[in-house]
Structure 1
């Protein structure tokens, strides 16, 4: 029986785990996401059985209304977020057009996937959270991304085995301060001119959610429709089949350098349609809605 997991935040208290079965959400106060991720194989089978019992009416946990429940990201607060840059072919083509350059395929030159890091304690935010517009900023951008949540320690993982290390999938919004990317006081030839930390890391810069959808229930993560609306205007409309480097390739590459830990998150690139391509950025008061097929809809309110 299929299910999705979420984390809610009672007031006061620590995050509580919940489960969605047949579009109804339930509290699981005796369970934690940390325990689930510590032994995903066993816990996943347990949750499938619980979902079946709920669907059959044999188990009756407390039902809750997600519309009135504060959600937090469906991963661990201490997670590291590994963000794959320039990983959609349509995005590369759109950026090349905007910059009047040629869209080069990084694979053709033998390049490895490119990543930057976001600390979870700083960047993570949940579905429906209000994100403060950074002070002094004019070019705040959105980026819809497929989030991959690691389910067991991964080191030197092969591409063939990589997806077996995935606990599940979610939606992410990689918010970006575009004018902080370039350190203009540095010479154009300087290796210190690009500032990924300044552009990508600020409080709640990476909303993730609303659910963790177990990997068993996503037949092909490389073929999922991904869309973004800003104030109900469709801005991004693509598919994860436009990934340049697959999820398996990303996991294999990262795990060849260091350990990936349960709860760590890979955000796997964004498709065409972001403000950096056309100058249409987001403002305070905007509502960003990201939908990925089978995973749900992540809403971010810009305060």
Structure 2
């Protein structure tokens, strides 16, 4: 159960994170605007890219744990070619520029801030996309507010269909409290990549490392796999992408469970890991654009 409000561990850590965050934001396509909207759990910070088709159902991207909105840097350019307005938000209670003001007492509370943010932004219907922990957030919102969600895309959805391997919890702890070399190994294990990839020092990688080091998100409740009743509420079209190698979402067993959904499209992507969205950005964007267009075509 979450009882604490997420916060930076100190002013120096906050300053270091914000420097890394701003450097990562600079790698994104230039947004049309940024926003901060109030919810009952805190202020939600995010960015909007206005699409060419103002009538098309927009897209919302939900980042993974400790990632923040800039984690979508590798994906945004290709997603924006769909012509839809795109929203990307920092999660409440996690690293980013959103500011939590009240604790989340259960994981279902994640649905509160995301639903209230959509209301404040005037988003009536949305194609929601989440990665990893962000997929769990997107899923719980869709369970509680299916009328808002035109389609749901779950990319390597940690916890949604199956629990991650037990070792994942150890790596998550080491990513926060371990010395630098341990944090690098832990982040590599969580992302399903090599340590060399973590040490490559990309702006997004630096931001994620700074978030894990300086932001205390221990008050976030841990999600549980959706029950059969919850899965039955997901009647909208659902796209599920599972990594073919080193999946934290549950691999083939998770894919099999996803196929029991009322309207599911499930792909197991060969030669990918938990970092699937960043490993196949162009191919994934084409898949998502086709998926969205079947539900709500863009007028060209």
Larger radius of gyration: 1
Higher strand fraction: Structure 1 or Structure 2?
1
TM-score if structure 1 supplies the norm length? Answer: 0.28
Higher helix fraction: Structure 1 or Structure 2?
2
